[in-house]
Structure formats: structure tokens, C-alpha cells
Amino acid sequence: MELYKKSAAELSALIKNKSCSVEEATKSVMDRITQVENKVDAYITICEQDALTKAREVDEKIAKGEELHPLAGIPIGIKDNISTKGILTSSASKMLSNYIPPYNATVIDKINSAHMIITGKTNLDEFAMGSTTETSYYKPTKNPHNLAKTPGGSSGGSAAAVSAGQAVLSLGSDTGGSIRTPAAFCGVVGLKPTYGAVSRFGLIALASSLDQIGPIGRTVTDVAMLYSLICGHDNMDATTKNIKHGDYAKNLSSDIRNISIGIPTEYFNLDLNDEVRDSITKAIKKYEELGCNIKEISLSSNEYALPTYQIISAAEASSNLGRYDGVKFGYRSSDYANLNEMYVNTRSEAFGDEVKSRILLGTFALSAQGYNDYYYKAKLMQQQISSEFTEAFNECDAILTPTTLTSAFDLGTDAIGDADSCTVAANLAGLPAINLPCGLDSDSMPIGMQIIGKKFDEQTILNIAFAYENACGIVNMPEIV
């Protein structure tokens, strides 16, 4: 039985019914990693022995009749910018290539408390800066549907691992589309939660006001199960909201009759690939058949969302990355004559070009010269974008857009600046958004659509995605040759 092909919900049922053991499920995934990792390159660190040891421990708990979480024994990959005690957490950077954290991120404590099985740490763009996973210090990750194409980024390793069967679930982080874009390119489901719904304690920061940890899985049910586990208030993260979260998986419903879905004109005026446009149009028609009310709406400031995001995220990144100076932890240059040279040489040697360029942009945006001209105006535009979403939600329950302008493009493609054109606005407004596969292009590459919801209304967008998935199915796991 190829257990690595099972969804988390299916595997959970098999384990509960004792149709398979946790060790068997874990070994199936580990064997799959052995089979295809040298082609996909989804992982930076693989934790095979620890995973199998933990699997046997969970099997012992099951044998004793202990009541365990539904996700107990489910193999999960962790993006390598999420702190894991005793396991390399490099953020795919030379700067942290020797960093072993002494503590877990809050989401990792929750995963451990549920007795999930960590398979390893997945690849990403360096410090989550990028849309292709090609800026990683270690290697580029490949799209399992076509190894010549990008899996998207920055959570490309997390999405590719799930798509290829190298993990049943994974965690990513999303600052401007870094869960949703790779989920779209790899044909899986990815959820960016509401800002403040999931603790960021232990997440290596890119832009603290935009970052959010979220789940990636093959099905909506899987994503809802993992989100239900990781969400909630955390005293270690003052930005988390102390609100009640239900069981999002148990509350899934495919009855979405009379749900109102807004279609923003501005997103469809972008330079969409024809096949993406056709797939989204067909999905909208399917929602009409499912009983939804489709309304055309306007989000006129969306054309400014990408430059607004670029300024704000770069400004916060330049501040957050100031801590990497070779003094306290991480890489330190061996070539210096004084303290200032140590700072300069350490950062010059250990940061990649993409990280350096964003630090320079962000430092300028926060300078006396650039603050009023750029950063302050970007913050005003962020407020405008957020206000437009609030007004739009007076007319509809959720908003449907493309996730990306194209399907996955070739590795090495230069024109990637607009890869997050459809996704950054949700981060700027702090809204939940989910990617759902909605078709394949003529080269059999997945196409994704995005559903954006009101703050802390993940249940609605999960239900909307669940109804479509039930009606149209999921993307098959690719054959990797």
C-alpha cells in the first residue's frame, strides 16, 4: 500500500482503525523521499531516524489505548525558517547555516503535543525572500509536475514535498503569497491565515507585520485539520488575538447556497495567461451551479498593492536582518581586522544578492530622505487597501481571484517581479486567503484560484474551497521521472 499517497484524513482513519501503523506510514513517506528527493530537492534537512523513532513511540501509545489527536502519526515537513529545537534552522541562508535553535516555535510545540511526525526541514528562498525557491543558499527546489519548472516560493520546498508525496502535510510561511503561490504552482491547497490567528513565535522574521505561518496539504480537509491545531492565542506573540477558534475540519460544509462571492474587476484586468483566465472563469460558473451569488466588485487600489508591499516588506526586512552581524550567533567572517570589518564582511559574505538588495531598498525607505517619500506613503496606501476590502465585504462573503498570473514558469526565468500581484493585498490587509487548484494548463501544470475572506472567517473560505473540491476533485500526485 502506497501510504505516502494518502491524505492526512485518510491516513488518520487507517491509523485509528489499525489498518496500518504509524511506523509503516512514516516509512512509506521516508522511502518516497529516498526515491525522489535527489530530483525534487524539497528538503534542506531530513530527519529519518528521529521520525521513525517518534513513529514507534506513537504506535506504543496507540497500543496502550491512549486517546490521541487525529493528526497523531501524520508525517509533516517544516519550512526551514520555523525554529525547531536541536534541528538546523537555516532559513536557507549561509548566515544561519550553522544555527541549531535551543527552543521550538509555538507551532512546533503544538505539532509535537499532537504527536505528529516531523520528516525534516523544507527548502525556501533565502530568508523567505523570493517567489521561486531559487534564492536558497543550498539549491533550487523543482516542481514535481515538471522538474524544469519552479515550484514557486518562498515556501516552495513545503509545497513540493506535499505535491510529491514527500510529506503528507507541511507548514509554510506567507508574507506576500509565499504559501499560496507555491501551492498554486504545485497543485495543492495552501492557507494563509488571518494575521494574528497563528503564533509567529519562533518564525524567523522577514516582515513582522505581514508574516504568517500556515498549512499546506493535498486536500481542504487536511489543511483545515492542521489549521485547527496550530491556530490560537499565544502569550509569546502579542499580535495573536485571544478569540475562540472552532474545529475547522469538523465544521466543514459543502452547502454554500446563497453565499455571496465577489469578483474584483481589477484582478481580471491584470496580464492573466489565457489558460489561467479560462480556468478561473469555469470555476466561477461552477460556484454559480453550487448556488452561490456572484457579484462584480471593485478593489481599485490593487494596482498599488505590489509596490506598497515591496516598500513595507523591505523596510521591515532591513530592520529585522540587522541582528545578523556575526556577533551573537550564525556565520562570522574569518577575514577582518576590526569590529566594523567583521560586520561588513560577515554580511557581505553570508547574505545572497536578493537579501542584500531588499536590505538596501528597505534602509533607503526608512532613511530621512526616503521615509516621507516612500515608507509613509506606502503605509497610507496600505490603509486604503484595507479599507477597500472592508467595504467590499459589505457586499459579499468572500472574494475570488486568480492566485497567480500564470502557471509555473521555467527555472531561471528573469521576469518574476509580478509573481505575487494577486496575493500581496491579503497580507497588507491582514486577511485570510486560500489557494485551491482549479485546473491544469495545456502542459498539465496546475492552475490555482484564491479565495479571500473576512478577518478570522477562515471557516467560510474553507467551506467555499471544500464545496468546489467535492464537486471537481483534487490534482493527482505527479509521476516523477
Query: Contact 84/108 with Cβ under 8 angstroms?
Result: yes
Name the phi and psi angles at 163, rounded to 5: -60, -40
Q: Is 16 a catalytic residue?
A: no
Whether residue 313 has a cis bond before it, omega within 30° of 0 = no
Q: How far is residue 368's CA from residue 38's CA, in Å, rounded to a whole number?
A: 48
Q: Strand pairing of 43-46 and 169-174?
A: unpaired
Q: In sequence order, what are the residues at sequence separation of 6 or more whose Cβ sits closer than 8 angstroms to the Cβ of residue 184?
A: 152, 190, 403, 404, 407, 435, 437, 446, 447, 448, 450
- Tell me 11's DSSP state: H
Q: Is 79 a catalytic residue?
A: yes
CA atoms within 13 A on the CB side of 427: 31
Q: Which helix (H) or strand (E) holds 430?
A: none
Task: Give the closest residue to 36 by CA, choosing from 136, 167, 152.
Answer: 167
Query: Contact 169/8 with Cβ under 8 angstroms?
Result: yes
Catalytic residue among 83, 93, 136, 154: 154
Catalytic residue among 6, 27, 79, 142: 79
Q: Is 285 a catalytic residue?
A: no
Catalytic residue among 173, 178, 301, 407: 178
Q: How far is CA 238 from CA 83, 141, 232, 242, in A?
A: 18, 34, 12, 10
Which residues belong to the active site? 79, 154, 178
